[in-house]
Amino acid sequence: MKYQIKEFAKLTDVSVRTLHYYDETGLLKPAFVDEQNGYRFYDENSLARMQDILFYRELDFPLKDILKILSSPDYDRKKALEAQKELMILKKNRIEKLISALDDAVKGVKINMKVFDNSEFEEKREEYAREAKEKWGNTEAYSEFEKKTGSFSTDDIRSLEAGIDEVMAEFAECMKNGSAPDSAEAKDLVRKLQNYITETSYTCTDEILAGLGQMYTADERFRKNIDRHGEGTAQFISDAIDKYCSSVK
C-alpha cells in the first residue's frame, strides 16, 4: 500500500515537517518521489522503519544514534525488537514503582528515595547503543561516509542515490538480456557499482561489497526497491556480486 506524505504523517502520528527532516537526514527516506510533482510516497517498508524509529525515540535514543543503528549492514530487526522490549520492561517496572510511591505519598507513608533511581535503565540503554554503534557507527567506512557526505544538501543525497539506482537499472537490463551473474557484463557492472560507492560514499572493499550483496536480498526493503527495475533484479545483483567476490579471492 502507498501513502502520500500527509496520509503517512497522520497514520504514524508525526508531523509532515518531521518527515521532511527525516528525509533530509537519511533517517527515513520516502519509498519513492514522483519526479513530475515532487510528491513523496511511503509504503509498508517505510511503516516498519518508522515503527523502529518510534520505539527508539520512546526509549530516548538520540536521532543520530538511531540513524547509525538502522544504517548498520548487520542490523537485525528481530534482535533489535527483543532488545527494545527488554528496555521497555525496565521502563515499565520503574513507572510502576513510581506510581506505587505516589500512592504511598498520598497516604502519608514515607517512601524510599531510591525509587527515583533510573540507573538500571540508563546503563542498559547505553550498553545497547554502544554495541549497536560498534557494529557500524565506529567503523572506518562510516567515518569516511560521514566525512564525504556531511556537507551534502538534500539534492546531493538524491543525486548520489540516483547514481546507484542507475547502476541497478543497468543490472536489470543485463539480466533481461539473458546474461548470467558470472558473465563479463555482470562483472563489469559489479566493478562499476563498487567504484561508484568508493567515489561517492566510502571505500567499498570486497568484504563490504559481499555484505551489500547479501543485504540486497536479505532485507526486504532493499529487495523490493531494487526489484522496481524488474522482478529478480536484487537476486541477480546479489549472485553477480557473490560470483565476482569469489573470483577475486
Instruction: Tell me which residue range forms the domain holding 97.
Output: 71-135
Assigned domain for 65 exists? no
Q: DSSP letters of the chain?
A: --EEHHHHHHHHT--HHHHHHHHHHTSS--SEE-TTT--EEE-HHHHHHHHHHHHHHHTT--HHHHHHHHH-TT--HHHHHHHHHHHHHHHHHHHHHHHHHHHHHHHTPPPPGGGG--HHHHHHHHHHHHHHHHHTTTSHHHHHHHHHHTT--HHHHHHHHHHHHHHHHHHHHHHHTT--TTSHHHHHHHHHHHHHHHHHTS---HHHHHHHHHHHHHSHHHHHHHGGGSTTHHHHHHHHHHHHHHHT-
Q: Which tens digit of pLDDT belongs to each residue from 115-148?
A: 888 777 777 777 766 666 565 555 566 566 666 6
Q: Do 160 and 201 reside in the same domain of the chain?
A: yes
Bigger pLDDT: 189 vs 130: 189
Q: Do 159 and 212 reside in the same domain of the chain?
A: yes
Q: Do 124 and 167 reside in the same domain of the chain?
A: no
User: How does the average pLDDT of the chain come out, rounded?
Assistant: 83
Q: Which tens digit of pLDDT belongs to each residue from 68-109?
A: 778 766 677 887 888 888 888 888 888 898 899 898 889 888
Assigned domain for 140 exists? no
Q: Among the ranges 45-54, 93-102, 149-158, 180-189, which has the highest mean pLDDT value?
A: 180-189
Residue 205's CATH number: 1.10.490.50
Assigned domain for 163 exists? yes
State the Cα–Cα distance between residues 142 and 159, nearest whole angstrom: 19
Assigned domain for 58 exists? no
Q: Which tens digit of pLDDT belongs to each residue from 7-60?
A: 999 999 988 888 988 887 788 889 888 888 888 899 998 999 999 899 888 877
Q: Copy the grid coordinates of residue 70.
A: 538502522
Q: Do 174 and 249 reside in the same domain of the chain?
A: yes
Q: Do 94 and 21 reside in the same domain of the chain?
A: no
Q: Do 222 and 161 reside in the same domain of the chain?
A: yes
Assigned domain for 141 exists? no
Q: Do 154 and 117 reside in the same domain of the chain?
A: no
Q: Do 38 and 81 reside in the same domain of the chain?
A: no
Q: Do 17 and 79 reside in the same domain of the chain?
A: no
Assigned domain for 143 exists? no
pLDDT value of position 215: 75
Bigger pLDDT: 142 vs 62: 62
pLDDT value of position 94: 84
Q: Do 154 and 246 reside in the same domain of the chain?
A: yes
Q: Among the ranges 15-19, 59-63, 150-154, 176-180, which has the highest mean pLDDT value?
A: 176-180
pLDDT band at 217 (very low <50, low <70, confident <90, very high): confident
State the Cα–Cα distance between residues 157 and 248, nearest whole angstrom: 31
Could you tell me if 63 and 25 are in contact, meaning their C-beta atoms sit under 8 angstroms apart? yes
Residue 2's CATH number: 1.10.1660.10
Residue where one domain finishes, among candidates 110, 135, 160: 135
pLDDT band at 167 (very low <50, low <70, confident <90, very high): very high
- Name the domain count of the chain: 3
Assigned domain for 120 exists? yes
Whole-model pTM: value is 0.49
pLDDT value of position 185: 95
Across 188-196, average pLDDT: 94
Neighbouring CB atoms inside 10 A of 10's CB total 13
pLDDT value of position 135: 56
Residue where one domain finishes, among candidates 84, 105, 135: 135
pLDDT higher than threshold 70 for residue 221: no
18-49 b/e (C-beta count within 10 Å ≥ 16 → b): ebeebbeeebbbbbeeeeeeeebbbbebbeeb
Assigned domain for 60 exists? no
pLDDT band at 249 (very low <50, low <70, confident <90, very high): low
Q: Do 88 and 131 reside in the same domain of the chain?
A: yes
pLDDT higher than threshold 90 for residue 61: no
Q: Do 243 and 155 reside in the same domain of the chain?
A: yes
